[in-house]
Amino acid sequence: MLKEAAIPADLLARAKEFTDTAVIVIGRYSGEGWDRKNDGTDDYFNLSETESDMVKAVTANFAHVAVLLNTGAIIDTSWFADNDKIASAVMIWQGGMEGGLSAADILTGEVNPSGRLADTCVKSFDDYPSSAVFHESDSYVKYSEDIFVGYRYFETIPGKKDCVVYPFLECKSAKRADFVCNYKLAKKPEEEYKLAASWNTELMEAIGRAGALEMILWLE
């Protein structure tokens, strides 16, 4: 796999003269059976030494820093959660061909991501209970936590909430308006579902295009 290259001093100096804002992109490859081992040979979860050096160089030279995580799975997030020099971070996952354009729309304020985390971010790879037996076999993963998979483990087992950096369904986007859907399920199977939706249009017009949406579904 490609390793992070050191930032050339002249490139850093020219960039600093041009702008006071920088975007750090941390990327990870994904593939069946060979990624995310975290066994010493593949350290998917943690930043490498050169990545850490790059982060230090960027935060030391730019007043405004944002982070994009271009990864297929959760990696360490504590390095920016506890860093006052990093103003924002977005998990953009692996968005394919249009992923870069979507990220640019977010960075420029054209849209608000309005998203929620689909996983739990913790302080250390070892905080995930399955990490203890993760390397038992290349053919399967044993979930030793039994029914307490994912967020259930961190919300149920005493003391494990302290391991969490960003919880499951976390959303730091500022919510500006609500989009309320009221689904009324038809009593007869042959009838189509009926949808009644209402927008707070005045508020939406006032806040502009970048307003975040919180969708609420009511099932009757």
Per-residue confidence (pLDDT) for residue 200, from 0 to 100: 47
Measured distance CA(64)–CA(45) in Å, rounded: 25
Residues 75 and 134 in one domain: no
| Domain limits for position 28 | 9-113
Measured distance CA(119)–CA(11) in Å, rounded: 36
Measured distance CA(11)–CA(9) in Å, rounded: 5
- Is 76 within a domain? yes
- Is 81 within a domain? yes
Summarised one tens digit per residue, pLDDT across range 165-175 is 999 887 766 44
| Comparison of pLDDT for 55 and 34, the residue scoring more | 55
Angstrom distances, CA of residue 144 to CA of 35, 107, 148: 21, 40, 9
Instruction: Please indicate, yes or no, whether the overall pTM of this predicted structure exceeds 0.95.
Output: no
